[in-house]
Structure 1
Amino acid sequence: MDKVEVPIHKHPLLPFARFIERPCEGCRIFGYIYKGYRCNELGCHNILFHKECAESLPEINHPSHPDHPLKLLLKGRSCTCSQCGVSFQYGYICSICDFMLDLSCAGGQAPLLVLEKSNLHEHPLDLFNGLKSGEISCKACQYRVYDREQCYRCYQCELVFHLECANFFPEASHPSHPQHQLKCLTAKAAPDYADKKCLLCGIMLRNLHHCDVCNFSICSRCMSNPPPLVVASLTTHEHQLHLVPRCINFTCNACGTQGDRSPYFCLQCNFMIHRECIDLPRVININRHDHRITYTHRFGHGNWKCRVCRKRVDEFYGGYSCSKCSDYVVHSRCATRRDVWDMIELEGTPEEPEEVAPFEVIDDNTIKHFSHEHNLQISNYGSNHLEELKLCQACVFQICTEPFYSCKQCGFCLHQKCAKNHRKKRHMCHYQPFTLDTNSECKQFTCQLCFQRFNGFRYKSLNNMTLDVRCGSSSEPLWHESHPHPLYYSKDNSKHCSECGKRGWFSCDECNFSLDFKCALLPNKVMRHRYDDHPLVLSYGESSSVDGKYWCEACETQVDPKKWFYTCNDCGVILHISCVEGDFTYIKPNSVIPYEAEYVSNTSTCRPVCTVCNTRCKLSTILKYSGKGKIVYVCSFKCLGIVRFRVF
């Protein structure tokens, strides 16, 4: 469907027939928007308008202010409506006398400033729009009153009511049940046989409008904002769809999942659909796949498996598939989850050009990487032991035994795998795409997945989510040497890392095993640690040991042999992971931070003592402070937070 240029928003808006429960950006009234407009630009995709609000005229004449025309005021400054006294950002203003109206008052749909009589409360109720933070519930229905949502307030009792709750009528008619009047009842007064959920939207009822003849019960929001009886949406079906307002078990043709009430139905085709599935987007990008995926009404015969939830996909119902990857399919509900889809509809939008490669190939051994001004030449570890001490500028980790590119003029190094990192990519942790930033100013960031501080390259999203390149380049399935099965990204809060006990982001579908990002991406090998001249290898624990006890060479405390640790295969040295990987591991030595401090290598024979915890700094990188005539050393960020108060 073509976008529409409207004066109320800076971007063209896309008409939609979807059922979306959110506040209108124009009038700020919360509820289902059954037909309206949405912005289809990345970063602006949560902007929704009622049809009437989006089509507001640039200039109007209003009976409340007959002397001058009123001009549409776009979002930019907060104003107060001269009629209802509520603050607004979209509305009309008189340029001559500063008279203002919000969109509700301008459209003649404004609620009364004072509700003298209400069916639910004995005191007068005042219109209120002052909820700015925290959660508060409507006294009538017990559901949350959202920030900036207009409501009524009783100042004597300090209670608030949704607009529709405060305006309950003892009896009223409803288009979904025209046969009889519906009575307003509290949940306690409702008969025992009444359904506990709204027949139309399915939310739990705390007060209801009820027909005791037909046992028909709906919530206050569906009472005041009834769903349309007929809907047309060519995206999901070619014919008009009619509401069937009754409890009925059905399988939605659009998503293949079960429903138990009020579907929309096409009599010609015996087609049934959830109201949430009406007007599904045709072409979208998701964060689990590199290509666009397209909605299809049915997949046909095959053993299909959803690539997001990894459960079976019924071939006779709708879903999404990739035209370039013949076996890639996704459930409709999984593809359009807000943590998976970026909320941008791409039908009619040309395919983006292929991604610019991160480097230009000069010859078989030389590349020109976008992050560096000089050519880089391929090198293989083994010719020079000093190479193992070099750091990759992208991931800020040792070169180790991996192939790498280096600059012969200035010593700049990149792992071969880091040089291939995409400049733009999608990641399973976030719905927005990421861009690779070389961090030329060497600023310090915290990865929002592993919580490790770093100052190498980073991936950043449009809303400034930051990942280091180790986490940012990860993908699913993740195959880890400690586990025989593939691991998949999961947002299940009940999953805990099998190694450290923290939130487990990568989980196994076959057994109770999970890893967080930090443990999942620990380096398998560390070269030339200060406690051993040989490589240290990550060990995933042992069932038993010869004498039953292991001891860490660095901190001289006991190591649990069933937990992960680093060990030397040549001489048997054992180290805690925390004694090999510290807070400053992924920060480049000689990096300067404020307060006359810098990160320095801890490679001397005599280890400095941390000025806070009074222990020898055992890690390869430490923090050095020089100020007020003294030099002090800090071994961790925990100690860093204390030393600033002591020294400066």
Structure 2
Amino acid sequence: MEELKNYGHQHPLLMLNEEQLIGNGNGVVDCSRCGEKVSAPCFSCVERCGSYLHKTCAEAPLELNHPFHRHHPLLLLHNPPYTSDTRCVCDFCDETCEKFIYHCSCGLDFHIKCALFSFNIAERNLKELEHVALEDPSFSSKNDGGNLGKCFVCWEPLAMYTYFSLDCGFNLHKKCAELPPKMGHVCHRKHPLLLQFNSERLSCKICQVTRRGGFVYGCSPCKFAIHIECASLFPDIEDKSHQHQFTLFWRQIPNICDACGTKGHHVAYTCGTCSIMVHKKCISLPRIIQHAWHNHRVFHKYFIHNEYFESLNCIWCHEVVDTEHGSYFCADCNVIFHVNCALKEKDWYCIVSQEDEDDKSLDIPVNSITEVLERNDAGEATVIEYFKHKHYLMLSDNIREHGDKCCDGCLLLISTKFYHCSRCDFFLHKSCAELPKMRLIPNHICRGTQFSGLKSIILTSDCMFRCDACWCVSNGFSYKCNECGSHVCLRCITLQYAVKIPGHKHRLFFYYGYEGQCSACGTDFDGAFGCKDCNFHLCPNCVMRPTRVRHKCDKHLLALTYDKINDYAKYHYCDICEEKRDPKHWFYYCETCDTSAHVGCILGKYPFVKLGSTYNEGDHPHPLIFVKKFPYYPECVKCGGPCEDLSLECAEIGCTYIAHWKC
């Protein structure tokens, strides 16, 4: 045993070989600096306090001048220099750093082993890797199921490449271990490019992608960086969605990418036959996607030639799309997306596979009307069979006679044209009756896992449910996922990206990333319907508020009201709870009786449950119907409390069963 200095430890340290380490009774211990398993040669505390150090960790310099980071030295710290709630992540391996890290004032952090390993690569100290055999990738892939991970230098897959696999957990291509530290490049002729850490998180000038880990060839004075794999000259690339090959064009000229319509400042790929220029990343754009904001598939188009319009507004950001450049377009509806808007949120779209490209059924949903028995002169279906009702339904627009009835689909009061049954109390808006029996949605999150692809949801009306979008309890119609049982009500599934509401003169467009307060209810929210011309924003719940409702406080219908009815402060009270109302917020109002009330007081907890409808899911032997008892409140047979809100009452004559809906 050789006694040496303590390397910052409070006691002297002894060097152990493998035999001494095993004989010391500590065959499996962790290094006190890097936290990895200790292997000989290593150092052990003479006082047997449990401290062990790898030889390389013990001899690690307190200050490291790293060739891949020439501006500042890396300082060895005992703990990360951050607050306790800030996670420190190694900029080489992307794993958490907990203690003994190399830190730079510019924000770079490295494990000891990562800093020293990359230092050896930078200094061309390949002798440090000689203890590792050069492995055959075909042999390794068999033992690893073909998943060999990624190279720690270029972050490209290791499969099909010769690579080093170190005991300390690093993998890299042989070609990456032998990268030149400096290179000239036609894309940046002013200065040589140096192999370095991307400490400034610069995006690659070739592919425009920003990565956290890995090395780049960069020029710090010019803020210029290129990924390792992008630095080499590429052969022509064939894109399956384009009939010709793309050729790399190295000239640094400003351009507009013909695939996505955004600026490009450096190299691009060109198709001489079609005279188009595209980013490298845009060569592999999906040709067809199914987006959650549109019922049909949308196709990627380089140019749209249409004599009826020069440009359209993107339905995601609502800004003009230049149709002379790439976009995603539905020719049936003239719906258009900017490319980057369509692909911005991965949960909102899925790629249509080549096998499904010619499947026209994806664009033609099956109507819920089973059969049309009669039509009028305008071609409208006036008598129909509906797949969720046993009797014929007739078309009507007689709001005066049926205006206090609710649509059994969306549970809103009947408005415009509707179908009704002459034999029972069943009503459907014409728009609700024409909804498809099945809808396809992209990337449905089912049972805690994201489904990548199209998912079918089925129109149903056979149960009480809570909508997964607005969280309202309802017994109307919904679209249901048969796999996980989740429901979406008709109000949410038919909500458009652009709406026109009474009380505001402009159309409102949905902005996914907007954060602020709702102009109608004052609550904070993420994602809003906003007016492009006014400072006016609504949360989705307020957009879907019923415009007319019936309530026991008034014999007339109450209207959702947007303006101040009376400016005197003493009139700003709710006639139900007798509390003050905020005059800036919406309320329900009866002009005949001068009744005004909070939205919440009028709608209550269960605004979308149809009273008088049958409930078939309980254990009571007779049919139960939904009621709200007034003016007296009978006792609940379950809990004994008064039935003041939504309750279930037995429809059988002579049976006095009544219970809270919750019970």
Q: TM-score, normalised by structure 2?
A: 0.60
**1:424–1:433: 8 Å Cα contact kept in structure 2?**
no
**2:292–2:349: 8 Å Cα contact kept in structure 1?**
yes
**2:182–2:194: 8 Å Cα contact kept in structure 1?**
no
Residue 333 of structure 1, aligned match among 324, 329, 340: 340
In structure 2, how many angstroms separate the alpha carbons of the residues matched to 1:380 and 1:217? 66
**1:379–1:405: 8 Å Cα contact kept in structure 2?**
yes
**1:579–1:618: 8 Å Cα contact kept in structure 2?**
no
1:342 and 2:362 correspond: no
**2:562–2:587: 8 Å Cα contact kept in structure 1?**
yes
**1:248–1:262: 8 Å Cα contact kept in structure 2?**
yes
Shift of 1:542: 0.9
In structure 2, how many angstroms separate the alpha carbons of the residues matched to 1:462 and 1:311? 38
Residue 374 of structure 2, aligned match among 354, 357, 363: 363
**2:439–2:456: 8 Å Cα contact kept in structure 1?**
yes
In structure 2, how many angstroms separate the alpha carbons of the residues matched to 1:581 and 1:182? 66
CA deviations over 1:210-230 (Å, ceiling 9, x no partner)? 36799874346768xx79442
1:457 and 2:477 correspond: yes
**2:195–2:216: 8 Å Cα contact kept in structure 1?**
yes
In structure 2, how many angstroms separate the alpha carbons of the residues matched to 1:582 and 1:284? 41
Shift of 1:273: 0.9
Superposed counterparts of 1:11-90, under 5 Å? 83=143
In structure 2, how many angstroms separate the alpha carbons of the residues matched to 1:434 and 1:64? 42
- Cα distance, 1:252–1:459 mapped onto 2, change above 3 Å: same
In structure 1, how many angstroms separate the alpha carbons of the residues matched to 2:472 and 2:294? 26
Q: Which residue of 2 aligns with 1:481?
A: 502
Q: Which residue of 2 aligns with 1:568?
A: 590
Q: Which amino acid aligns with 1:526?
A: V
Shift of 1:87: 11
- Cα distance, 1:236–1:595 mapped onto 2, change above 3 Å: same
CA deviations over 1:617-641 (Å, ceiling 9, x no partner)? 775x34789xxxx999769xxxx6x
- Cα distance, 1:380–1:273 mapped onto 2, change above 3 Å: closer
Q: Which residue of 2 aligns with 1:580?
A: 602
In structure 1, how many angstroms separate the alpha carbons of the residues matched to 2:210 and 2:541? 40
- Cα distance, 1:409–1:328 mapped onto 2, change above 3 Å: closer
Q: Which residue of 1 aligns with 2:578?
A: 556
**2:290–2:298: 8 Å Cα contact kept in structure 1?**
yes
**1:437–1:457: 8 Å Cα contact kept in structure 2?**
yes
CA deviations over 1:309-357 (Å, ceiling 9, x no partner)? 33233343233444445x5544333345545543115685153384433
Superposed counterparts of 1:494-643, under 5 Å? 494-500=515-521, 501=523, 502-527=525-550, 529-542=551-564, 544-589=566-611, 590-591=614-615, 600-607=626-633, 621-622=646-647
Shift of 1:243: 5.7
Q: Which residue of 2 aligns with 1:203?
A: 210
In structure 2, how many angstroms separate the alpha carbons of the residues matched to 1:462 and 1:490? 30
In structure 1, how many angstroms separate the alpha carbons of the residues matched to 2:286 and 2:198? 38
- Cα distance, 1:593–1:410 mapped onto 2, change above 3 Å: same
In structure 1, how many angstroms separate the alpha carbons of the residues matched to 2:595 and 2:565? 18
Q: Which residue of 2 aligns with 1:423?
A: 437
CA deviations over 1:235-268 (Å, ceiling 9, x no partner)? 3463432163x86532212222102344224567
**1:453–1:584: 8 Å Cα contact kept in structure 2?**
yes
**1:479–1:486: 8 Å Cα contact kept in structure 2?**
yes
In structure 2, how many angstroms separate the alpha carbons of the residues matched to 1:174 and 1:230? 26
Shift of 1:485: 1.1
Q: Which residue of 2 aligns with 1:254?
A: 259
- Cα distance, 1:574–1:241 mapped onto 2, change above 3 Å: same
**2:249–2:269: 8 Å Cα contact kept in structure 1?**
yes
Q: Which residue of 2 aligns with 1:317?
A: 325
In structure 2, how many angstroms separate the alpha carbons of the residues matched to 1:379 and 1:568? 26
In structure 2, how many angstroms separate the alpha carbons of the residues matched to 1:552 and 1:402? 30
**1:433–1:462: 8 Å Cα contact kept in structure 2?**
no
In structure 1, how many angstroms separate the alpha carbons of the residues matched to 2:273 and 2:203? 30
**1:394–1:438: 8 Å Cα contact kept in structure 2?**
no
Q: Which residue of 2 aligns with 1:376?
A: 393
In structure 1, how many angstroms separate the alpha carbons of the residues matched to 2:205 and 2:583? 58
CA deviations over 1:493-531 (Å, ceiling 9, x no partner)? 42442222233432222223222222111111113x211
Q: Which residue of 2 aligns with 1:492?
A: 513
Flag the structure with more relative contact order, 1 or 2, with Cα contacts below 8 A and sequence separation at least 6.
Answer: 1
Q: Decide which moves more: 207-216 or 414-423.
A: 207-216
**1:459–1:468: 8 Å Cα contact kept in structure 2?**
yes
CA deviations over 1:147-205 (Å, ceiling 9, x no partner)? xxxxx5xxxxxxxxxx45999637448999599997643456xxxxx994334444156
In structure 1, how many angstroms separate the alpha carbons of the residues matched to 2:262 and 2:138? 53
Q: Which residue of 1 aligns with 2:420?
A: 406
CA RMSD of aligned residues (A): 5.0
Q: Which amino acid aligns with 1:233?
A: D
Shift of 1:231: 0.8
The secondary structure found in structure 2 opposite 1:316 is coil
Residue 272 of structure 1, aligned match among 270, 277, 281: 277
Residue 360 of structure 2, aligned match among 342, 351, 359: 351
In structure 2, how many angstroms separate the alpha carbons of the residues matched to 1:304 and 1:388? 41
Superposed counterparts of 1:178-257, under 5 Å? 184-187=195-198, 196-201=202-207, 202-203=209-210, 208-210=215-217, 217-219=225-227, 228-233=234-239, 235-236=241-242, 238-242=244-248, 244=250, 249-257=254-262
Q: Which amino acid aligns with 1:524?
A: T
Instruction: Structure 1: state its 5+ residue gaps.
Output: 1-29, 31-62, 67-79, 91-103, 117-123, 126-151, 153-162, 189-193
**1:378–1:403: 8 Å Cα contact kept in structure 2?**
yes
CA deviations over 1:277-303 (Å, ceiling 9, x no partner)? 114444555444455544443335863
**2:413–2:548: 8 Å Cα contact kept in structure 1?**
no
**1:171–1:181: 8 Å Cα contact kept in structure 2?**
no
CA deviations over 1:36-75 (Å, ceiling 9, x no partner)? xxxxxxxxxxxxxxxxxxxxxxxxxxx9999xxxxxxxxx
- Cα distance, 1:293–1:397 mapped onto 2, change above 3 Å: closer
Superposed counterparts of 1:86-235, under 5 Å? 115-116=166-167, 124-125=168-169, 163-164=171-172, 169=177, 171-172=179-180, 184-187=195-198, 196-201=202-207, 202-203=209-210, 208-210=215-217, 217-219=225-227, 228-233=234-239, 235=241
**2:261–2:325: 8 Å Cα contact kept in structure 1?**
yes
The secondary structure found in structure 1 opposite 2:320 is coil
Residue 394 of structure 1, aligned match among 400, 409, 415: 409
- Cα distance, 1:329–1:446 mapped onto 2, change above 3 Å: closer
Q: Which residue of 2 aligns with 1:77?
A: none
Q: Decide which moves more: 512-521 or 204-213.
A: 204-213
Q: TM-score, normalised by structure 1?
A: 0.61
**2:302–2:325: 8 Å Cα contact kept in structure 1?**
yes
Q: Which residue of 1 aligns with 2:153?
A: none
Q: Which amino acid aligns with 1:423?
A: K
- Cα distance, 1:460–1:595 mapped onto 2, change above 3 Å: closer
**1:404–1:413: 8 Å Cα contact kept in structure 2?**
yes
- Cα distance, 1:197–1:296 mapped onto 2, change above 3 Å: closer
**2:647–2:659: 8 Å Cα contact kept in structure 1?**
yes
In structure 1, how many angstroms separate the alpha carbons of the residues matched to 2:137 and 2:351? 39
